[in-house]
Structure 1
């Protein structure tokens, strides 16, 4: 019963599980002709509001206020300026909320309420949907609401025009977690005919449930092993490597569990799989691909596959629009989006350097190593190096505080990113000479 208690008492998992029957109910009602498109939008919006108040309490205002302001901006601004305004407003609001967390944690030395953490996590997901919507409007993928709103004379007509936006920003299956769903996909899923609405695949949901149960069992076993050993501040020499690897394993198992649960909730509501995909639109992808993450020997591939919808969002928002140092700018923005804690800033900037080193190391190895035994040895060594560097970055990001970061940097684990930093310097110098 230990793993059951650990899993179901986690606040976000508890509320996601509570929302599951309503996702199944929504899917069932969408198959009925009497359940209109307007009723679908209202159901998703009302469910999001109730879930936000239940999970966040008064901190739900941190979600409602930016959602309301975003719809106001989308309804009043032109297509070319809507992204810039919504981006700076949303990131400014999120930064102020994170500064409130910094003030409580570092200045007052008090643990913030759990509801505040849930609200901040949901706000980060809202930022993804807000910027995704504004980018779609700027690129012409979604028709701007401002023109149609100006032509409406009554308040009810204006509300009817903005209802899809409100519903998209606050719909309950993606409020607390889940892969980023574009507005196009969301609208296509909601507005499809009842006759073509997909039936629920109970086999797929059962398989996800089995995966969650297995991961939770592994997490309980690993947690006991970590608790029985020394901490990072007490470990000595090579023992620190095991402590870092096992602690990072706990974090990864927790992420895997939540991502599968979030994916299950979206699937139960009818937003998973290939439902609602239009021609020319990128299909739905779950956030986790455990096989690739645990077997890859390339840090750059791990970065693209870790939280895949977020990685795709960062690529579209930052990487593709950066003229110089796109990798560094992308990871720097990710640190800003996560809250700019000292460990997060160091961890994401370290990750960006490791990705740059990864590109040069593998390009050099592809040219220099020809025999298959050496390639096999090279792959094994780079796999171990990748897993240990990712563990190092994860402990820095999750530790967040300056004291935790100091203990990590002073441990033997700093050898692994240090090796890649030296190789980056040597290979970059060699490449410059060749050019």
Structure 2
């Protein structure tokens, strides 16, 4: 029945069934989020019920999208939980990371040679983040880490192994099971019991009582703004997708026209991800996930579950800024489990780890090497060029800004698709 419905929508919109199925299942997260936020509110509902609803609905979405392939995800999560139970605190992070590396490596190799109706690689990449997050949080919280914890590690640490239900709702929750975003287990548990809203605002004298539910800030503006952005990008993709296929290149074609086609093709591909990231971010906010406190003007911030700043990425004028605004939760994860943990060249280790996380195609490693070189080159050039061009009148200043934007789109844009 679901398959027939997807076929009908595919015929109506003229889009592939996989894309229609993904959009349909992502949008289905909105009513589920409303149920979790208002009907199953933590003030009136058992945490067991909330965890059960979140995990079962997420499993159903994954099963509808992946079919029998969802069993591979269940196996990944099940073995990961067994490791948490049996591994000593001193090495639980290594066992969790080892299992994650083994599973994702095998999955990436198989995915490179197998093309099915839907590939679970992206969801595996998200699951890997969650499994390693839990392992490192237990390592920090159960006495395994003998080094002083930084502020973030102290905040995210776990002092006991989560229950099976908590673990399943963390891994398979409906608002992140397909394309993310990923948060830590501590952030997920705080969201599920409502304690994520017990944050002092700049104008309050103290935090809300741990035994009372704080007044929840409105998520209407972030939800609507992210939803509108997602609609904008899916509309653009629908209109422009036919133009991303390679066009016959006329050798006499102007080089600037070729560059424009190239940038447009990269933008069309990115628009798919902009849509998926903004939809899931919006759904997370509807459910109550994403709140991270207040700014200095006492306005609520809803960026914890944000994976991309679309406007910032598309109008970025340097490589570093683009990387900071793209795959935000993945970058945060790599910083927490690699950059802050290794003692040898953390920057190089992070780039290599990120390349492995994406797969084994040589292009990934060439791409991340190019990104690293682009970041270093852009940093050196800005030190000289920025003061020179920005201090010589508005015409030269804007010419410089446009030139850096074009160069960023040409050299960095293809790397973030």
Q: How many Å separate the matches in 1 of 2:43 and 2:67?
A: 35
Q: For residue 379 of structure 1, what is the aligned residue in structure 2?
A: 401
Q: 1:200·1:270 contact (CA, 8 Å) conserved in 2? A: no
Counterpart for residue 77 of structure 1: 87
Please report how far the alpha carbon of residue 365 of structure 1 lies from its aligned counterpart in structure 2 after TM superposition: 3.0
Pick one of 249, 253, 260 that aligns with 2:278: 260
Aligned match of 1:145: 160
Alignment of 1:97 onto 2:107: yes
Classify 1:219/1:161 alpha carbon distance in 2 versus 1 (closer, same or farther; 3 Å).
closer
120-129 or 339-348, which deviates more: 339-348
What's the C-alpha RMSD, in Å, of the aligned pairs?
3.1
C-alpha distance in 2, partners of 1:233/1:45? 53
Residue of 345, 351, 375 corresponding to 1:355: 375
Count the aligned residue pairs: 367
| 219 and 3 in structure 1: CA distance in 2 versus 1, 3 angstrom threshold | farther
Q: Tell whether the 8 Å contact from 2:138 to 2:160 is kept in structure 1 after alignment.
A: no
Aligned to 1:391: 413
Quick check: 1:269 aligned with 2:287? yes
Partner of 2:117: 114
Deviations 1:188-236 (Å, cap 9, x if unpaired)? Answer: 1111379547487455434333222222232334335556x82579895
- Alpha carbons of structure 1 residues 195 and 381: separation in structure 2 relative to 1, 3 Å: same
Question: What CA distance in whole angstroms lies between the structure 2 residues aligned with 1:235 and 1:128?
Answer: 48
**What's 2:127 paired with?**
126
User: Which one of 61, 70, 77 corresponds to residue 67 of structure 1?
Assistant: 77
**TM-score (ref. length: structure 1):** 0.75
SS in 2 for 1:321: coil
* Runs of 4+ in structure 1 over 6 Å off: 232-235
Within-5 A mapping of 1:28-427: 28-31=38-41, 33-104=43-114, 112-115=115-118, 117=119, 119-140=120-141, 141-145=156-160, 161-192=163-194, 195-196=213-214, 198=216, 201-202=219-220, 204-226=222-244, 230=247, 236=253, 238=255, 239-274=257-292, 284-366=304-386, 371-373=391-393, 374-394=396-416
Cα separation, partners in 2 of 1:204 and 1:3, compared to 1, 3 Å: farther
Q: Cα–Cα, structure 1 residues 269 and 237, in superposed 2: closer, same or farther, change >3 Å?
A: same
Q: Deviations along 1:341-390, whole A, 9 cap, x unmatched?
A: 23222222211221121222223335666733355443332221111112
1:25 correspondence with 2:35: yes
State the distance in 2 between where 1:271 and 1:233 align.
Answer: 50
Q: Which stretch shows the higher mean deviation, 11-20 or 216-225?
A: 216-225
Contact 1:145–1:161 (Cα < 8 Å) also in 2: no
Mark the CA change 1:381 to 1:34 in structure 2 (over 3 Å): closer, same or farther.
closer
Q: Quote the offset at 1:272 in angstroms.
A: 2.6
Shift of 1:339: 1.3
State the 1:23 CA deviation.
2.0
1:305/1:311 contact within 8 Å kept: no
Higher helix content, 1 or 2? 1
Cα 1:261–1:363 shift into 2, 3 Å: same
Confirm or deny: 8 A CA contact 2:230 2:279 kept in the other structure. yes
For 1:34 and 1:365, the matched residues in 2 are separated by 59
Give CA-to-partner distance per residue, 1:287-322, whole Å, 9 cap, x none.
Answer: 121222122211011111112111111222223334
- Does the 8 A contact of 2:223 with 2:283 survive in 1? no
Distance 2:252 2:49 in 1: 58
Structure 1 residue 338, shift from structure 2 partner: 0.9
Contact 1:328 1:353 in 2 (8 A): no
**In the alignment, is the contact (CA less than 8 A) between 2:319 and 2:408 conserved in 1?**
yes
